[in-house]
Structure 1
Amino acid sequence: MTDAAPTDRNRLDDEESPYLRQHADNPVNWQPWDEQALLAAQARDDPIFLSIGYSACHWCHVMEDESFEDPEIARKLNEHFVPIKVDREERPDLDSIYQSICQMTQGTGGWPLSVFLTPEGEPFFVGTYFPPESKRGMPGFGQLLEDITESWETERDGLEQRAEKWTNAVKGELEETPESVGEAPSEALDAAAQAALRGADRDHGGWGRGQKFPQAGRVHVLLRAHRRTGREEFRTVATEALDAMIEGGLYDHVGGGFHRYCTDRDWTVPHFEKMLYDNAEIPRALLAGYQATGDERYREYALDTLDFVTRELQHPDGGFFSTLDAQSEGESGEREEGAFYVWTPAEVEEAVAGADFDTVDPDTAADLFCDRYGVTEPGNFEGRTVLTVVAEIGDLADAYDLDSDTVERVLDETTTAVHAAREQRPRPRRDEKILAGWNGLMLSAYAEAGLVAGPEATEPAVDALAFLREHLWDEQEERLARRYKDGDVSVDGYLEDYAFLARGAFDLYQATGDLDHLAFALDLARAIEANFWDADAGTLYFTPADGEGLVARPQELTDQSTPASAGVAADLLLALDHFRPRDGFADIAETVLATHGDEIESDPLRHASLVLAADGYEHGGHELTVAADPLPEDWRAAVGEAYLPGRILTRRPPTADGLAEWLARLDLDEAPPIWADRSARDGEPTVYACRAFTCSPPRHDIGAALEWFETGD
């Protein structure tokens, strides 16, 4: 008697990924992507059906309900295929490879991603969502399974030839680097900003004429280009995008935080899931917008978003969870898209009925709220209303014969009451896996908030970093794991995990002055060089050199829903080179930028993170070395108010003995240039400002140092 084959049952109940576990009760004999499943495919000589999605993906749930719960479709999959389910958030390497194939062959991509592979993992048919029956030009999934089964039996040679062709194509797309390398690109920032200007939707804000995605990288490009050139249109387009994101349905006006994207041009109806990375990157862009314009709204929305993250997405011990689902139980008892977030006038009236308002009655408060956020009987989404800002405070004050301060106070009180009522609704599911890279993005947002709003704003991030170091960082091996879930640690870290977390740790160092954060960032930077840097190819790969052998080893050069990890890594290495110049971090960054210079220049906007790194390499950042411990509070506030792209804020112990202690902790024989000869003068806190290899005289006035960046005097 032999043991049962792994493909005889659905094995996803053994997994920790919430997305995989959601499919553990399907009649499909789903397998995780592991050696057992891949060997089983080769032993059976059956093709693999690979389904890639994530927990908060609406159409992933739809395809599950329509097809993967269907016994007949399950039978076809189980008999003729090895069905493998992958969480794209745990395995972005697999997603990158097969998503690239989809985009190359279909011209588009998305999730769920549906790929048919040879037993060796080479793709021969690819698509996204398939309905159960043919409609709108899409083949029915059940019939598709029959057709591919027949083709595998009768036309296998042709399918394998296609698989070989596609595999070679994706290897060339993702792996190859140019044979001849020039120099790092120059003036790429202006080219990217010009492209952002040309593609901007000047009527509704943002980019595109259909769905609207947050494009935080483009906002950073435009704001930096405005500072460089003074061209007002750059800043205007950036603020138009920020205004659209905070006023439209992308933002949750009751509970805070941002949804994934909007389904329409005017930013009204979102795709309702909330992703950790959006709620890190958008606040960073808002804080940059606040520093560049002084618009207090951007600061408020950023801080409110971080409050939401702390409240709803933080593990009790520190780390940040990944997502909130788009669906929750609606009035029908079924899971519905957006049910948690939408309103009718009657629901608003009921929510505030028992509230006590000083200056208006509850009915007036409800009317004010509905007028402010466009809540109407017809609604704007399936008979209910997604909240958007449709009336200005001043106009409401005139209409209700109230002063603006009273209107704002009543709206705040009403929002509190509406939020309390919403808390009684069935909540969206939360994906509680903790990902190193996404957490790193979050650390950077909290760090910047700490400079803008005060040290207490960094406390959630300090707790999160301690959690990540305890659970995901192997100090002895100097290896980072990607995922923590309920005590289970899995998946070797990718470049984005190392780069995003290193940047987050470095940004926390800037905000807090804690040398341990700088030391950890340097440890991660050395691990990036050891695991992802290929000197022969002149590039940083997304997967580690000793990682799993897949059909391609991808690079990540373009910004997608998260920044390009190669760009973040290059920018980080340039910053850390100031502290360990002998480690050659800047040489790696320069080579990466030179290797991909032609590609960056040919399409700068798709390479926003690499463009920002190239600009930092070309012009240098804003360096502020403060000889003081601790940083004076008014100095912190002044730096937090200033827009200083590429800023490096570092403390230096004011005395020689203190500096010697720090150098020992960082294993340095001598002070790096950013600290050398920069002691406190006259027994007072002293600041040294440098830009583009030129430094100001030492000053005791932080305002004068910041002014020097503007005037050079």
Structure 2
Amino acid sequence: MTEPTQRNRLAEEESPYLRQHADNPVNWQPWDERALEAAEERDVPIFLSIGYSACHWCHVMADESFADEEVAELLNENFVPIKVDREERPDVDSIYMTVCQLVSGQGGWPLSAWLTPEGKPFYVGTYFPKEAKRGQPGFLDILEQLANSWEQDREEVENRAQQWTDAVKDRLEETPDSVAAAEPPSSEVLETAADAALRSADRQHGGFGSGGPKFPQPSRLHVLARAYDRTGRSAYLEVLEESLDAMAAGGLYDHVGGGFHRYCVDRDWTVPHFEKMLYDNAEIPRAFLAGYQLTGEERYAEVIEETLEFVDRELTHDEGGFFATLDAQSEDPETGEHEEGAFYVWTPAEVAAVLEDETSAELFCARYDITESGNFEGANQPNRVTSVSTLADEFDLAADEIERRLESARERLAEARERRPRPNRDEKVLAGWNGLMIATCAEAALVLGEDEYAEMGVGALEFVRDRLWNEDEQRLSRRYKDVSEQRSEGRETGSHGGDVKVDGYLEDYAFLARGALGCYEATGDVDHLAFALDLARTIEAEFWDAERGTLYFTPESGESLVTRPQELNDQSTPSATGVAAEMLLALDGFADDEEFETIASTVLETHANRIEANALQHASLCLAADRLEAGALEITVAADELPDEWRDRFAEEYHPDRLFALRPPTQEGLEDWLRQLGLEEAPAIWAGREARDGEPTLYVCRDRTCSPPTHDVEDALEWVGDNGEPRDSSETTLDESESPF
């Protein structure tokens, strides 16, 4: 057989990111046994390049270096070049990104790492230009220097590699030898995190940090929302509203087509990096749902609705699953050049040409700051800067006429934009990211009262379950990708003809279980609850280490890397450990014979010192600690379905630890459910809670204290108010006149 490193093997892969590099002269390898064995056999270092399909600087480095014959010759001769899609292999990315952050104090993509044949890192960085410039070393120079060091200073290189491996192992894998805290963090850690969020808040421009780039940080927003609900402290709500308003008004949001970009490059949220990620368009709207419930502001509901419409239109598989990303760049059909943001930006002349009506064009440009000077390379990323009331005064038109014209203009511009070259779409379906989006759809259905969102979430849940869940082995795979008939010839594919790859990680199980539980709450279909319980049981079997008292990110039966990482911090997505802990607490009430609460409590106990030392970096774990101490607000409904009136009434109030637990109205019906769940006895959340008087009946409980059964939702809410320590609704909020909405 031909030595695998003598050719570029990425054409055999289904990851769109890897396939983008299949024509490079670099003999790229995927991360697999053949490539790793080749490095050992050749006794040369590995050059590891990690990125993702929507990454702008990944494209730049590919064009400058990886398409270059001189670079390719150096790489192919002296290294085994391996390309990794970070979205498929977050475990590999986590390890080497942590090394980069430890060594350089920063990270990002593309991630460039040089490893020994055993996978131990000895040099790391991010983007490198081909030739040295502006203080950055050149990629060619680095390759030559490292090849020489490997030949001439091998012992020093290997010593450094071992030191760095020990450091990353200590950071990602190790747990305290003894748990100094005798118990998990108290709910006070929630206020500690919220206070830290206040200190880091940008009170002038919204969000967090005193400069750019600006990231959305939805986990911090959930901390603020829950802390406000617990304490009634107005500053928490003010910062939450300031952040939501800034993100919705600025360039982070796509005002023409809906949905959120990845982040903004500046402090005032004007210019985004234009890629759109599924996880952002799941997690940011969840924060807006919290803001909507706390304030009742319809502008937040509009953002949620428009974002879900975008996801349904542009990121949804025909059969229900959600795709991963939209690229930042579009290809110019005349030049073949890829231009960042070209699909999204406008000039005044372009707006006028589409709208034709001069007044409507002027209104749109004034509303969204479309100017001749531009804010991005001579064009404009729309930012909502002028309120409707101000426009009404300036144009001497009624406010409702302004809004009608603006909505008509937006629709026409969206239609015109569809004729532009579209950004590429990464059509991977990732289990974990789908779980995030499914949970948001389910919550939106409950809060906004729109059944179509529940249908959207259930469609994706069934898609993922059908393609990525192995019922017999109780195992979840991470990624599904459609494969054409031509590409499927001679290769193993799933039952739907698609390519399934990578064992699921903790985030896949935890995020998807949260989504499945949400679908049960929104629809009352016990099958979704059964799936959530199956996922939770596999978390216990594959990711829980009772001796170390922690949940690891990779399955015990999975591939062995230089370290077995944990994911405790919130990053682009919420902490897998934090979500798993909170999800296990929620599911514990449905499976009294399981150890779910014990696992969650022990994980929080194990990491208590770390959480308390830096609460804001562990926002999801703080939310789990709060839920553990406060207990869930269990809303058991004995009925064939959740009455719309009850759903709508509960939706009007913010209950972050609410758990809707529909059960059949009769004992006979409940026994059918128990058989589906494999339970011999009814869990406490359902036991003895039949419908009374032949009518739908409510039972509301918190921390093993329950209301009397009632047919009146107002009685139930009154009990919640008396027993749930509600916030003081008289606290002040932001002055609406300050908002560009």
- TM-score interval (norm. to shorter): over 0.9
For residues 327-342 of structure 1, the aligned pairs below 5 Å read 327-330=329-332, 333-342=336-345
Which among 588, 596, 600 is matched to residue 585 of structure 1?
596
Give distance in 2, aligned partners of 1:296 and 1:703: 23
SS at match of 1:581: coil
**Corresponding residue for 1:410?**
405
Q: Which amino acid aligns with 1:667?
A: G
Shift in Å, 1:352: 1.3
Question: What's the CA shift string for 1:466-520, capped at 9, x where partnerless?
Answer: 1111110000000000000110000000000000000000011001100000000
Q: Which amino acid aligns with 1:560?
A: Q
For residues 148-163 of structure 1, the aligned pairs below 5 Å read 148-163=146-161
**Corresponding residue for 1:118?**
116
**Corresponding residue for 1:275?**
277
Give distance in 1, aligned partners of 2:136 and 2:472: 52
For residues 503-582 of structure 1, the aligned pairs below 5 Å read 503-582=514-593
Q: Which amino acid aligns with 1:192?
A: A
**Corresponding residue for 2:29?**
31
SS at match of 1:254: coil
SS at match of 1:582: coil
**Corresponding residue for 1:189?**
190
For residues 10-159 of structure 1, the aligned pairs below 5 Å read 10-159=8-157
Question: What's the CA shift string for 1:640-671, capped at 9, x where partnerless?
Answer: 22210111111121112111111121121211
**Corresponding residue for 1:396?**
391
**Corresponding residue for 1:232?**
234
SS at match of 2:619: helix
**Corresponding residue for 1:358?**
none
Shift in Å, 1:333: 4.6
Please state if 1:260 is matched with 2:259. no
Which among 329, 351, 354 is matched to residue 351 of structure 1?
354
**Corresponding residue for 1:356?**
none
Shift in Å, 1:678: 1.5
Please state if 1:367 is matched with 2:365. no
Give distance in 2, aligned partners of 1:92 and 1:375: 39
Which among 684, 696, 707 is matched to residue 696 of structure 1?
707
State the TM-score, normalizing by the size of structure 1. 0.98
Give distance in 1, aligned partners of 2:444 and 2:361: 33
Give distance in 2, aligned partners of 1:4 and 1:668: 55
Give distance in 2, aligned partners of 1:332 and 1:247: 34
Give distance in 2, aligned partners of 1:626 and 1:683: 13
Give distance in 2, aligned partners of 1:249 and 1:228: 32
Contact 1:629 1:653 in 2 (8 A): yes
**Corresponding residue for 2:205?**
204
For residues 400-549 of structure 1, the aligned pairs below 5 Å read 400-451=395-446, 452-486=448-482, 487-549=498-560
Give distance in 2, aligned partners of 1:264 and 1:704: 49
Shift in Å, 1:177: 0.4
Give distance in 1, aligned partners of 2:553 and 2:466: 24
Shift in Å, 1:465: 1.0
Give distance in 2, aligned partners of 1:246 and 1:33: 39
Give distance in 2, aligned partners of 1:107 and 1:539: 27
Contact 1:454 1:637 in 2 (8 A): no
Give distance in 1, aligned partners of 2:681 and 2:5: 60
Question: What's the CA shift string for 1:656-689, capped at 9, x where partnerless?
Answer: 2111111121121211111112122222211111
Shift in Å, 1:332: 5.6
Give distance in 2, aligned partners of 1:371 and 1:706: 45
Number of residues of Structure 1 aligned to a counterpart in Structure 2: 703
**Corresponding residue for 1:357?**
none
Question: What's the CA shift string for 1:327-379, capped at 9, x where partnerless?
Answer: 112486511110110000000011112xxxxxxxx111111111100000001
Which among 270, 279, 284 is matched to residue 286 of structure 2?
284
Shift in Å, 1:698: 1.6
Shift in Å, 1:633: 1.2
Which among 620, 627, 634 is matched to residue 616 of structure 1?
627
Shift in Å, 1:170: 0.7
Shift in Å, 1:303: 1.3
Give distance in 2, aligned partners of 1:391 and 1:673: 54
Give distance in 1, aligned partners of 2:205 and 2:718: 35
Shift in Å, 1:203: 0.3
Give distance in 2, aligned partners of 1:579 and 1:303: 32
Contact 2:449 2:647 in 1 (8 A): no
Question: What's the CA shift string for 1:561-592, capped at 9, x where partnerless?
Answer: 00000000000100100000211110000000
**Corresponding residue for 2:653?**
642
Give distance in 2, aligned partners of 1:681 and 1:118: 69
Task: For structure 2, list consecutive stretches of 5 or more residues without a partner in the other structure.
Answer: 483-497, 725-741
Please state if 1:654 is matched with 2:650. no
Shift in Å, 1:454: 2.1
Greater mean alpha carbon deviation, residues 56-65 or residues 689-698: 689-698
**Corresponding residue for 1:687?**
698
Shift in Å, 1:28: 0.3
Give distance in 2, aligned partners of 1:376 and 1:223: 36
Q: Which amino acid aligns with 1:473?
A: W
State the TM-score, normalizing by the size of structure 2. 0.94
SS at match of 1:598: helix
Greater mean alpha carbon deviation, residues 144-153 or residues 699-708: 699-708
Contact 1:600 1:611 in 2 (8 A): yes
Give distance in 1, aligned partners of 2:714 and 2:49: 56
For residues 667-686 of structure 1, the aligned pairs below 5 Å read 667-686=678-697
Task: For structure 1, list consecutive stretches of 5 or more residues without a partner in the other structure.
Answer: 354-361
**Corresponding residue for 2:492?**
none
Shift in Å, 1:707: 3.0
Shift in Å, 1:51: 0.2
Which among 362, 379, 382 is matched to residue 384 of structure 1?
379
Give distance in 2, aligned partners of 1:690 and 1:649: 11
Q: Which amino acid aligns with 1:417?
A: R
RMSD value over aligned CA atoms? 1.0
SS at match of 1:90: coil
Q: Which amino acid aligns with 2:185?
A: P
Give distance in 2, aligned partners of 1:423 and 1:289: 32
SS at match of 1:559: coil
SS at match of 2:593: helix
Give distance in 1, aligned partners of 2:273 and 2:474: 39
Question: What's the CA shift string for 1:617-641, capped at 9, x where partnerless?
Answer: 0111221111111111111211222
SS at match of 1:484: strand
Contact 2:275 2:328 in 1 (8 A): yes
SS at match of 2:40: helix
SS at match of 2:75: helix
**Corresponding residue for 1:314?**
316
**Corresponding residue for 2:490?**
none
Q: Which amino acid aligns with 1:446?
A: C
Q: Which amino acid aligns with 1:559?
A: D
Give distance in 2, aligned partners of 1:65 and 1:264: 26
Greater mean alpha carbon deviation, residues 456-465 or residues 408-417: 456-465
Give distance in 2, aligned partners of 1:156 and 1:654: 72
Contact 2:114 2:123 in 1 (8 A): yes
